[in-house]
Structure 1
Amino acid sequence: MSAREKILNAIASNQPELTALPLMDKNVLIRYEDVYAQFKTVLESIGGKVKLIPSLTELKEQLIADKASGNFVVNAIADLGKLDNQVASFTALDLEKVEKAYIKGTAGVAENGAVWIYESQMLNRLLPFICQHLIIVIDIAAIVATMHQAYENIDVAKEGFGAFIAGPSKTADIEQSLVIGAHGARSATIYVVG
């Protein structure tokens, strides 16, 4: 038996007993009278923009105008028009010039302004992080009060990757000075349909 096998066997035989997860009393979780208003307030306080729209018509027109501008714009939302599926195989170098990305979100969280996006909704897992301006679309009915409720509504094991995104990229690591867009999108606009 090799030293590696001895170490792995020792680890396997010395595992702690499993402890059951605590039961959550959902009656004591945070509640908001208006989850959309809370979502908007929090997201705007962290640098994002939120706009309530009655339908996707406005966004379809905006997407057409953005594509006509000559900038590298990616559409990952079938309801807005033809998908830009070719970006699925693009590398970071291929995607570095993406000006705007339109992506559908699955769930919004009022307590922290985050939106869950599955990898399949991104077309390419780099897209929401490498674009200059991120446009996310969610339904108003998909906004929940807490992360507990969000995790009940999504299946994190469904795909190989997914992410909660809250606003544009930001950091204050350097001399406690806030920098927007340091590690990802410079702006994030969430369109809430409803």
Structure 2
Amino acid sequence: MSAREDMLAAIRRHRPTATTELPELPSFARLGPRELGPEFCRRLAQMGGRLMQPGPAGDPLAPARSLIAGAGIVCSMVPELPGNRALADADPAALHDVDLAVLRASFAVAETGSVALKSADLGVNALGYLAQRLLVLVDPADIVENLHHAYARAEFQQGAYVVLQTGPSATADIEGVLIHGAQGVRALTVLLA
């Protein structure tokens, strides 16, 4: 056995067996259900994300199809908005040239303007970082108020991987020059549909 295996085995043997109940947390709710959507949109814009207005009642995904049609390489995890590159069992390094990733978020957080993406939403976890742009569909009924509500959701309790994507990648220097897309996605567009 290697030193690493010996150490891990010792940790496993000496792990406490008692379970401790977690304290009850207040919900910190301050917004009504009708305020969640507008608050999410306001925070999304503050973080550099864009809100795409849905199309007419008969075809709310029409604007998304237009965006996809103008993109180069598109990987989609949304069956009703197919891409032009298959994602099944893709090697993460093979996603280096993806122009647009089309995803459906598990939920969104109004407080931060974030979308929650779990492994099943991404197909390949690296897609959320290697694509140049993200188009994320969010069901308005799946907007939670704050991070307390987000972390109480089943996705964080059961999933091995969940990420909160908040706007496009950004960096700023000491003089306050903000650059989007410096280390990751250049644009995050959200369609509430």
The residue aligned with 2:146 is 146
Structure 2 counterparts to residues 1-194 of structure 1, below 5 A:
5=6, 9=10, 13=14, 20-26=21-27, 29-33=28-32, 34-53=35-54, 57-60=59-62, 62-63=64-65, 66-67=68-69, 69=70, 71-80=72-81, 82=82, 86-172=86-172, 174-175=173-174, 176-193=176-193
Deviations along 1:126-146, one digit per CA (max 9) or x if unpaired, are 112111111000111111111
Q: Give the alignment's TM-score, normalised by structure 2.
A: 0.79
Distance verdict in 2 for CA 1:9–1:117, change over 3 Å: closer
Runs of 4+ in 1 over 6 A off after TM superposition: none
Pair 1:132–1:158, CA change in 2 (3 A): same
TM-score calculated relative to the size of structure 1 = 0.78
Separation of aligned partners in 2, 1:61 and 1:3: 57
Instruction: Name stretches of at least 5 consecutive residues in structure 1 with no aligned partner.
Output: none
Per-residue deviation at 1:46? 0.9
Give the share of equivalent positions with the same residue, in percent: 24
Number of paired residues? 188
Return 5+ residue gaps in structure 2 as ranges.
none
Deviates more, 1:38-47 or 1:85-94: 85-94
Structure 1 vs Structure 2 CA RMSD: 3.2
CA contact (8 A) 1:107 1:153 kept: no
Larger fraction in helix:
1
Q: State whether residues 107 and 144 of structure 2, in contact with CA within 8 Å, keep that contact through their aligned partners in structure 1.
A: yes
Residue 55 to residue 115, structure 1, CA distance change in 2 (3 Å)? farther
- Asked if the contact 1:73–1:99 (Cα under 8 Å) also holds between the matched residues in 2, the reply is yes
Amino acid at match of 1:105: A
Deviations 1:152-171 (A, max 9, x none): 33323544322111111112
